[in-house]
Structures are given as structure tokens and as C-alpha cells.
């Protein structure tokens, strides 16, 4: 008779509070013991000597099997969560996006049907309402108590955007019910104007995409969303922050005790708008919104992560194949399906460019990838920490392993990676999701369907 189902021995266990060499005993999917030395037996044993052990990554911004009108993102709930597991992510929060006119209940049911039984790691959903009538606003408290405490509103996109008045009503109701409003902050009318100007001037290639959505577009919408939140003292979370202008809006608000939080993504930390100049329409690979920015923004985003202007690194994983999907916009950049892949390399990139290159401490890395996402989105302490009683979601990470990132070694279902050719040090060697080994020796070893839907609790403000 074994005392534990799984023992992870001798790893450098990282929590937000520090790094300690520890043995971890896992039983029934939970962390049952953490100690200097565990002498009892385990049915399975992982020797983590010389390795870091992180809490499993939590990616709070993914778009799996997401329809953007002209295309559906190429990773579904199975391929996307397998890729996530192989990169050390053990929980995702994706979206229920209401079609205009559709009831929220139907939108939720449809999305559950898409995911149920097809997911390899634990998952949850933010709700993205697009039809903001009295019944939508009235539903917010019951959605929060049903385990959907976060809502994402778009300030742009024809079929998704909400008005300032609608956002304000949602902020008030969500505040009163203890939930959190997240915002995609870009000014719809500025984009509309610029896209039409560029089209009229015959400027139709991918290189014009960033010109149609300059930082001012994001700055204005970020500042407006924050001011609406400030008016009613409601918490707000700005998704995919890309530039100095938005950082300034957020840090000014936080300095004035406005409850604003924010995230950025690896693509904004590591890639610049020079990519849009790649020949043969290759710039389309980087068409996402907001767009990649001039490189001078990157050190500011890193500083924002280090100094707590931003609290989370997510991916906004929304992959479209270069062949057959991105080329829908061959004749005009604004028809290119928006999004880039990134669900698998998030921890790898943030470790190498953040921790190894000394932009972030190892504790901050864990906060940004797991602990803060869990706290802000109502999963802590079930997730986001290596503690007794928490879910046994762990990543055993080899800090010495050198790898060149290429599409061929990733598991994402898409025909390119924006990180092609990047040389990194540090790679996950084992991923454990609720006590099950789901990734080992470069191979997915989990089972599709074992991911559980997570009803979340109320968010914490950081």
C-alpha cells in the first residue's frame, strides 16, 4: 500500500513567497504533503533534483475554437489544451461570447457543449455579453454566483462592441455583486476612420494594420474604461496592454487607488511591429488586435510587470493558419483573421526572457503566470499555489535545457509559430494536472476529457 499516488522529490519549489527545496506528496489529485524529506512511498516517483517546481500555469485569456466571422481559430478545446499542458499550463479561462440577440443562457450552453469531454486540463469561462439589455444586466449577479465571476466587454469590433452606457451599467451591477469587468480597450470609431482612409489610399497590405490601430486608439479606450470604472468605483481589468500610453493610464489610476488591474502577453513583450514588413504576405502572421508596437514599448511592459502596474501574463491565444485562414485577408489587411498562437510557449518565454535575463524574479514569474491569475479570477487557493490542500497542478521545469523554438516541436494546431527560431534556456519536463502526469519527455501523456469545468469564486483585487 502506497502512502501517495505520486511523489515529486527534491525540486526547487517556487511560490510567490520564495524558493525552497522540498518533496511533494500527492494523493487523490491534491497536494497532501510538502516537507524537507518525505520517507513514505509513492506509487509513482518523479526526481526533480536540479529542477524548479512551479504551480501549474493559468492562462486567463484564450480563444479556442473561436469564431471571428470569416474563420474559426484552428486550435479546438482538445488540441489547444494538449498544447497548453505540454507548455506547463494546467488551467485556462476561455470565453463564452454571446452572439447578438442570443440569450446568455443559450450562449453558455452552446460553449459548454463545444468543450465538454474534449478538454485535457481544467477550464473555465469568462462571459462576453454583446447584447446589453435589462435582462443581461439583471443576469450578472446569478452568473457570478453560478461560477462565472468575470465578464469581458469589447469596445471595438462591429459584432461585439458595447457602448459606454452599457459598460457603465455592467460595471455598476458587477461591482455590487462582487465580480470583475475585463475590457478589450480600442476605440471603434478611430479604427473605422483609419481603415477607410488606408483603403482609399490603396494601402491594403499587412504593414498597414498597425497604422489602423495606433497607440492612441488603445490609450483613449483604456483611459475611458478606467474613468468609467473610477466614476462608480468598480474594479476593472484591462486585457492585452501593449504600449506606454496604456501603461501610463493604468499606473496613474493605480496611484490614485482606482481598482484597475491589467495583463500583457508574450507577443507584446517580445515582438515588434517590424514583423509586419515581412515579405510575401508573411506579415499577416502577426495581425492581431491591438497590433504589435514599436520595440521601445517592450522594456516599459517588462517594467510594468515587475513594478505591479500589470499583474498577469496571458496569451490571447487565437491561432489561424497562414495557409487557408490568414489569406482570407490577402486583398485587405482588415479582413485578415485577428490573432496569434502562444498557448504553449508562455511559461518558456517568460522564464527565459523574464527570469533568466533578469527582468523578473522567479517569485514574480510564478505570481504573473499562476498565483495572480488564480487570485484575480477566483481560483485561489485551489489553484495558483503549491500548498497543502491545493490541487496538484505542477510544472517540473528544467532551467538548463536549451531549445530552439520551432513549429515542429510545439503541439499547437497551426502552421506557424511567431517565435520561430528563438533560442531559449528552460523548458517544462513534466506537467502534473490534478495529480495526473499529463506531459513527460516531450509527449502529452494525459487523457482528453479529464479536464474539469471550474466554477470560480469571487475575484480578489490586487
Can you give the binding site for Zn ion, defined by CB under 5 A? Answer: 184, 316
Give the shortest CB-225-to-Zn ion separation in angstroms: 13
Query: Backbone phi, then psi, for 62, in 5-degree steps?
Result: -130, 155
338 binds, among Zn ion, ligand DUC, none (CB under 5 to 8 A by kind): ligand DUC
393 binds, among Zn ion, ligand DUC, none (CB under 5 to 8 A by kind): none
Residues comprising the chain, all counted: 462
User: Whose Cβ is closer to Zn ion: residue 9's or residue 184's?
Assistant: 184
Note whether 289 binds ligand DUC by CB under 6 A.
yes
435 binds, among Zn ion, ligand DUC, none (CB under 5 to 8 A by kind): none
Q: How far apart are CA 262 and CA 283, in angstroms?
A: 27
Q: How far apart are CA 291 and CA 267, in angstroms?
A: 10
Sign (positive or negative) of CA dihedral 73, 77, 83, 89: positive
Q: How far apart are CA 172 and CA 151, in angstroms?
A: 13
Note whether 288 binds ligand DUC by CB under 6 A.
yes
Report which DSSP code applies to 350.
I
Q: How far apart are CA 396 and CA 11, in angstroms?
A: 8
Tell me which residue has its CB nearest to Zn ion: 184
355 binds, among ligand DUC, Zn ion, none (CB under 5 to 8 A by kind): none
Note whether 111 binds ligand DUC by CB under 6 A.
no
Note whether 339 binds ligand DUC by CB under 6 A.
yes
Note whether 184 binds ligand DUC by CB under 6 A.
yes
Strand positions, DSSP E, 265-329 = 312-313
Size of the site for ligand DUC (CB under 6 A): 8
User: Whose Cβ is closer to ligand DUC: residue 9's or residue 293's?
Assistant: 293
User: Whose Cβ is closer to ligand DUC: residue 286's or residue 351's?
Assistant: 286
Note whether 262 binds ligand DUC by CB under 6 A.
no
Bridging pattern class, strands 122-128 and 89-97: parallel
Bridging pattern class, strands 150-154 and 42-47: unpaired
Note whether 318 binds ligand DUC by CB under 6 A.
yes
Note whether 160 binds ligand DUC by CB under 6 A.
no
341 is written with which cell numbers?
498562437
Alpha carbon distances (Å) from 114 to 66, 78, 80, 103, 120: 10, 10, 13, 17, 13
Task: Tell me which of 136, 338, 372, 417 binds ligand DUC, using CB under 6 A.
Answer: 338
User: Whose Cβ is closer to Zn ion: residue 148's or residue 427's?
Assistant: 148
User: Whose Cβ is closer to Zn ion: residue 335's or residue 398's?
Assistant: 335
Closest CA to 369 of 121, 407, 425, 360: 360
Contact 428, 345 (CB under 8 A): no
26 binds, among Zn ion, ligand DUC, none (CB under 5 to 8 A by kind): none
Note whether 206 binds ligand DUC by CB under 6 A.
no
Sign (positive or negative) of CA dihedral 65, 344, 413, 73: positive
Subset of residues 51 to 90 that bind ligand DUC, contact rule: CB under 6 A: 63
Question: Degrees (nearest 5) of the Cα angle 243, 244, 246?
Answer: 70
User: Whose Cβ is closer to ligand DUC: residue 395's or residue 414's?
Assistant: 414
- Residue 138, burial from CB neighbour count under 10 angstroms (0-12, 13-18, 19+): exposed
Tell me which residue has its CB nearest to ligand DUC: 288
62 binds, among Zn ion, ligand DUC, none (CB under 5 to 8 A by kind): none
Residues binding ligand DUC (CB under 6 A): 63, 184, 288-289, 316, 318, 338-339
Amino acid at each position: 500500500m502506497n502512502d501517495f499516488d505520486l511523489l515529486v522529490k527534491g525540486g526547487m519549489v517556487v511560490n510567490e513567497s520564495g524558493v525552497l527545496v522540498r518533496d511533494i506528496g500527492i494523493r487523490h489529485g491534491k497536494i497532501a504533503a510538502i516537507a524537507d524529506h518525505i520517507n513514505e512511498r509513492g506509487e509513482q516517483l518523479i526526481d526533480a533534483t536540479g529542477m524548479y517546481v512551479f504551480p501549474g500555469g493559468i492562462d486567463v485569456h484564450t480563444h479556442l475554437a473561436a469564431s471571428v466571422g470569416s474563420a474559426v481559430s484552428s486550435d479546438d478545446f482538445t488540441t489547444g489544451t494538449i498544447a497548453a499542458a505540454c507548455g506547463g499550463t494546467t488551467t485556462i479561462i476561455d470565453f463564452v461570447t454571446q452572439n447578438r440577440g442570443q440569450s446568455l443562457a443559450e450562449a453558455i450552453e452552446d460553449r459548454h457543449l463545444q468543450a465538454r469531454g474534449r478538454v485535457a486540463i481544467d477550464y473555465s469561462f469568462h462571459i462576453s455579453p454583446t447584447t446589453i439589455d435589462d435582462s443581461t444586466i439583471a443576469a450578472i449577479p446569478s452568473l457570478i454566483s453560478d461560477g462565472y465571476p468575470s465578464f469581458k466587454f469589447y469596445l471595438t469590433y462591429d459584432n461585439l462592441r458595447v457602448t459606454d452606457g452599457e459598460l457603465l451599467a455592467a460595471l455598476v451591477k458587477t461591482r455590487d455583486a462582487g465580480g470583475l469587468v475585463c475590457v478589450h480597450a480600442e476605440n471603434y470609431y478611430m479604427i473605422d476612420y483609419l481603415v477607410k482612409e488606408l483603403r482609399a489610399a490603396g494601402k491594403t497590405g499587412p504593414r498597414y494594420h498597425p497604422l489602423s490601430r495606433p497607440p492612441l486608439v488603445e490609450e483613449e479606450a483604456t483611459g475611458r474604461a478606467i474613468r468609467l470604472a473610477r466614476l462608480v468605483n468598480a474594479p476593472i481589468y484591462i486585457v492585452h496592454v501593449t504600449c506606454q500610453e496604456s501603461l501610463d493610464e493604468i499606473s496613474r489610476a493605480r496611484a490614485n487607488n482606482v481598482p484597475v488591474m491589467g495583463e500583457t502577453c508574450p507577443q507584446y513583450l517580445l515582438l515588434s511591429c517590424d514583423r509586419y514588413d515581412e515579405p510575401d504576405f508573411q506579415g499577416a502572421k502577426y495581425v492581431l488586435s491591438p497590433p504589435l508596437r514599436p520595440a521601445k514599448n517592450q522594456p516599459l511592459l517588462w517594467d510594468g510587470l515587475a513594478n505591479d502596474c500589470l499583474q498577469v501574463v496571458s496569451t490571447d491565444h487565437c491561432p489561424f493558419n497562414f495557409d487557408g485562414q490568414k489569406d482570407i485577408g490577402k486583398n485587405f489587411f482588415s479582413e485578415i483573421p485577428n490573432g496569434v498562437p502562444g498557448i504553449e510557449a508562455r511559461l518558456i518565454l517568460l522564464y527565459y526572457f523574464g527570469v533568466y535575463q533578469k527582468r523578473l524574479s522567479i517569485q514574480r514569474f510564478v505570481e504573473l503566470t499562476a498565483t495572480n491569475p488564480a487570485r484575480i479570477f477566483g481560483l485561489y487557493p485551489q489553484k495558483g499555489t503549491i500548498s497543502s490542500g491545493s490541487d496538484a497542478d505542477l510544472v517540473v521545469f528544467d532551467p538548463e535545457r536549451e531549445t530552439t523554438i520551432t513549429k515542429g516541436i510545439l503541439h499547437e494546431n497551426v502552421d506557424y509559430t511567431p517565435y520561430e527560431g528563438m533560442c531559449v534556456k528552460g523548458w517544462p519536463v513534466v506537467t502534473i494536472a490534478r495529480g495526473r502526469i499529463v506531459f513527460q519527455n516531450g509527449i502529452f501523456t494525459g487523457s482528453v476529457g479529464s479536464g474539469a469545468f471550474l466554477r470560480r469564486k469571487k475575484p480578489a483585487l490586487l
